[in-house]
Amino acid sequence: MKIMSAAAAALVLAAGSAAAQGYPNKPITVVVPFAAGGPTDITARIVAEPMSKALGQNVLVENVAGAAGQTGSTRVAGAAPDGYTLIMGHMGTHAASVGLNPNLKYDPATSFQPIGLANASPIVVVARKDFPAKDLKEFIAYVQKNPDKVTQAHAGVGSVSSTTCILFNAQAKLGKVNAAAYRGTGPALNDLLGGQVDFMCDQLTNLAPQINAGGIKAYAVASAARSPAIPDVPTSTEAGLPGYRIESWNALFAPKGTPPEVVAKLVDALDKALNDETTKKRFAELGSLLPTAEERKPDGLLAVVKRDIDMLTPTLKASGVTIGN
Ligand code: ASP
């Protein structure tokens, strides 16, 4: 009996490792936990094509929006750990959610097998193009005086846009502002362009073309230096709010338990995708920053996740905002 069990176990192991060796032999799905057209979707689609080339199989993007990205993340945390279902997470789904959602159904640091960081993106404070403030100082003064007239767009509590505006609103002492939640900042940007909402804090990846075309106003980029993608936009320090410094990122994760051979192939494919000339060009146009060699690896990504959970959780808990308010 004992021998049979051992043999059966060996067979299962051998079958698992044979499957890993033949990986991938069918299309791979990357879940984007937000609506199409936003920065997470844009990033996933940019890297999916060169990853398909590197892996010899199609890498497909599937949008599973809801609950600030937590619906898609929960689904992938529970998916088969076979390398065929991945998630393009970000600083919201895989760090900020911890400080904002006491009922989070996954642990960003332990429920996934990290693959690697896909990019980093400065956060920019933007408003509809006819917002009655010419710079950040006027914007802050206007919102402080007219809180009821202003609506902030975001992608749900726990998203990057909500989190980075919680930090911005606190730094700028804006008090409580009205907010409209979307299934991603793609649709939120459409409403900002249409003037249905007033302002947003979001990844530059989503905003550079509309900032440069004058479709929206940009008041500040929350990084140490200006971005070459939007050279006319001042840093938060130049604009008078030096404490407001925050950058987001997107990253690829698999379910926990994914075989090491599969992880190695995905790490290599992501690295190749990031070294692809078209990827580099698109990222540069969108103000997206390429990750370091270390950040492209599972341990480097895990370190970023843990760093940002530690950095964000105390401030977000102190903000008093939780899922549902
Ligand atoms: N930028 C978004 C966020 O606020 C999500 C998206 O990629 O659409 O988290």
Q: Which residue, among 153, 114, 75, 58, has the nearest Cα to 249 in the 3D structure?
A: 114
How far does residue 11's CA lie from ligand 1's centre (Å)? 44
Query: How far lies 39's CA from each of 16, 228, 230, 233, 296, in Å?
Result: 35, 18, 16, 19, 19
- Ligand 1 pocket check for 72: Cβ under 6 Å: no
Atom of ligand 1 minimally distant from the CA of 203? 1
pLDDT (tens digit, 0 to 9) for every residue of the chain, 325 residues total?
444 555 565 555 555 666 788 999 999 999 999 999 999 999 999 999 999 999 999 999 999 999 999 999 999 999 999 999 999 999 999 999 999 999 999 999 999 999 999 999 999 999 999 999 999 999 999 999 999 999 999 999 999 999 999 999 999 999 889 999 999 999 999 999 999 999 999 999 999 999 999 999 999 999 999 999 999 999 999 999 999 999 999 999 999 999 999 999 999 999 999 999 999 999 999 999 999 999 999 999 999 999 999 999 999 998 888 875 4
pTM of the predicted model over 0.85: yes
Pocket test for ligand 1, best of 30, 32, 34 (most atoms within 8 A of CB): 34
Q: Which residue, among 115, 123, 78, has the nearest Cα to 96 in the 3D structure?
A: 123
- Ligand 1 pocket check for 203: Cβ under 6 Å: yes
C-beta of residue 274 within 8 angstroms of C-beta of residue 296: yes
Q: Which two tokens mark 74?
A: 């929960």
Domains, the chain: 26-120+249-319 (3.40.190.150), 122-239 (3.40.190.10)
Q: Which residue, among 224, 229, 235, has the nearest Cα to 213 in the 3D structure?
A: 229
Q: Which residue, among 325, 310, 303, has the nearest Cα to 98 in the 3D structure?
A: 310
- Ligand 1 pocket check for 92: Cβ under 6 Å: yes
